Amino acid sequence: MKGGRVGRRFVSFGIGGSRWCLPVAEVVQIVRHENVHELPDAQPPVAGVITLHGDVVPVLDLRERLAAAAVEGAGSWQRRILVVRTAGRPYGILVDEVRELVDLEEEADAGTAGALPAFASGRASRGGVALPVLDLARAMDVRPP
């Protein structure tokens, strides 16, 4: 069993008080949190939809799923929507802040540093910083558990 380390670029962001990251390849765009249309039959974690380049894109609020509380004092001006592409379609993830683009190494062997938080597909780190990588597919799964 090898713990392979692959260097990549990640977007790090905060949802509630916790920090996460996603490979840049999965993030298509970052837009401001505005003009989110309400859905008539809303079903959490879907918070609404936005129109983007002619597409109507569902926006998800994962805070409850990721068991994170709302950030104290995180002004709504910092909130962003990460537009990601999974299963060939665009989706928006509501985040409290987008931190930065950073080069991290993904741990191929996830068992090394202890238990992963729920909805994390692995960990990415550099130096002493370790961020859980958000498992989009699982986080966005709306089927009943």
Partner 1 sequence: MSTDAARSDFLDRAEGWAEGMTSSLALLEAEPGHAEALRQLFQTTHNYKNSADLGFGRIAELAHRMEDVLTRARDRAITLTRPMLDALYAGSDLLAEMVAAVGRGEGDAAVDAAGVIEELAQWGPRPAAGASEVTPSPTAGIAASPDAPADTPAEESLDPRARAAFLADAEDLSQNLSDLLAALEPGALAAGALNEIYRPAHSLKGAAGAAHCYRMQRLVHHMESVLQRARDGALQISGQVRDALLEAADRVAEMVAAFGRGEPDSSVDTAGAVAALSAFAPPPPVRNARPPGGEEPAAALRAELTEQAFGTFERAQVREADARGESLFRLSCEMDPAEQMRFARAFLLYSGLEDAVNVVAVDPPMDTSAVEPDAQGNVPDDRPYAHLTVWFTSPGDGSGALAAAAGAGTVTVERLESVALLAAAPAAALQPAESARPAAVERTTIRVDTRKLDMLWTLVAELVQEKARIGTLADRMRRGDDAEGGRAGLAEVFDSLDKISGGMQQAMMETRMIPIRVIFEKFPRMVRDLSRKLHKAIDLETAGEDTEIDRGIVEALADPLQHLLRNAAGHGIEFPEERVRLGKRERGRVRVAASQQGGRIVIEVSDDGRGVDCAAVRAKAVALAIPGAADMDERQLLELIFLPGFTTKREADDIAGRGVGMDVVASRVRTDLKGEVLLKSRAGAGTQVTLLLPLTLTIMRVLLVRGESHVFAVPLSGVETTTRVLNTEIRGAGERLAFVWQDAEIPLFTLGGLLGRPWRRAEELSAVVLRRGRSRACLVVDELLEEREIVIRPLDDLANHRRLFSGVSVREDGTLVFILDTSFVPEEGS
Partner 2 sequence: MSTTILIADDLSFMRMIEKEILVERGYRVVGEAVDGLDAVEKYRRLRPDVVVMDITMPNMNGLEAMRRILRIDPGARIIMCSALGQQHLIVDAIKSGVKDFIVKPFKPDRMLAAIHKALAPPPGGAAGA
Phi-psi category of residue 35: left, alpha or beta, with phi > 0 → left and psi -120 to 50 → alpha: left
Q: Distance (Å, rounded) from C-alpha 74 to C-alpha 145? A: 31
Mask for 33-72, x = binds partner 1 (CB under 8 A):
--x-xxxxx-x--x--x-x--xxxxx-x------------
Chosen residue from 7, 34, 118, 129 binding partner 2 by CB under 8 A? 34
Q: Decide whether 60 or 66 has the Cβ nearer to partner 1.
A: 60
Angstrom distance (rounded) from CA 45 to CA 140: 8
Classify burial at 132, counting beta carbons within 10 Å of its beta carbon; exposed 0-12, middle 13-18, buried 19 or more: buried
Is 73 a residue that touches partner 2 (CB under 8 A)? yes
- Taking CB under 8 A as the rule, does residue 79 contact partner 2? yes
Does residue number 41 form part of the binding site for partner 2 (CB under 8 A)?
no
Q: How far is the CB of 73 from partner 1 (least distance, A)?
A: 12
Q: Minimum Å distance from CB 76 to partner 2?
A: 5
What does the block give as tokens for 106? 């993904």
Q: Which is nearer to partner 2, 95 or 140 (CB)?
A: 95
Residue partners of 59: CB distance under 8 A and separation at least 6: 36, 46, 47, 48, 49, 50, 81, 91, 92, 93, 94
Question: Nearest-CA neighbor of 124 among 110, 109, 105?
Answer: 105
Contacts to partner 1 by CB under 8 A: 6-9, 11-12, 23-25, 27-29, 35, 37-41, 43, 46, 49, 51, 54-58, 60, 77-78, 85, 88-89, 91, 99-103, 127-129, 140, 142
Q: Return residues touching partner 2 (CB under 8 A).
A: 32-34, 72-77, 79, 97
